Homo-oligomer: A and B are copies of this chain.
Amino acid sequence: MNIPAKTVGESAVTRKCTHDYRVSCGNCRLNTLCLPLALDSADVERLDNIIQRGKPLQKGEHLYQEGVAFTAVYAVRSGAIKAYRVTDDGREQVTGFYFPGEILGMDGISKNAHACSARALETAAVCEIPFSHLQELSTQMPDLQRHFFQLMSREITEDQQLITLLSKNTAEERIAALMLSISSRNARRKLSATQFRLPMSRIDIGNYLGLTVETVSRVFSRLQKLEILEVSNKEIKILDLDALKEIANVHVCEDDE
Contact = CB atoms under 8 A, between A and B. Distances in A.
Given A145-B139, A148-B149, A164 B87 contact: yes
A168 interface: yes
Interface on chain A toward B: helix, strand, loop, or mixed SS?
A: helix
A251 interface: yes
A148 B145 CA distance: 11
Name the 3 nearest CB pairs between A and B, nearest first. A109-B153, A167-B210, A159-B159
Given A145-B138, A153-B106, A257-B111, A167 B249 contact: no
Interface stretch (A1-9, A49-57, A88-96): A88-96
Contacts of A146: 135
Given A139-B142, A153-B107, A256-B111, A163 B168 contact: no
A87 B177 CA distance: 13
Contact of A116 (B109, B160, B207, B256): B160
B256 A91 contact: no
Contacts of A210: 166-168
A88 to B, nearest CB: 5
Interface in A187-218: 207, 209-210
Interface centre among A136, A159, A251 (most CB of B within 10 A): A159
B150 A109 contact: yes
A41 interface: no
Contacts of A139: 138-140, 142, 145
Interface string A218-257: 0000000000000000000000000000000111000011
B89 A249 contact: yes
Interface string A36-59: 000000000000000000000000
A162 interface: yes
Contacts of A138: 139, 145
A79 interface: no
A163 B95 contact: yes
Given A142-B139, A167-B210, A153 B110 contact: yes
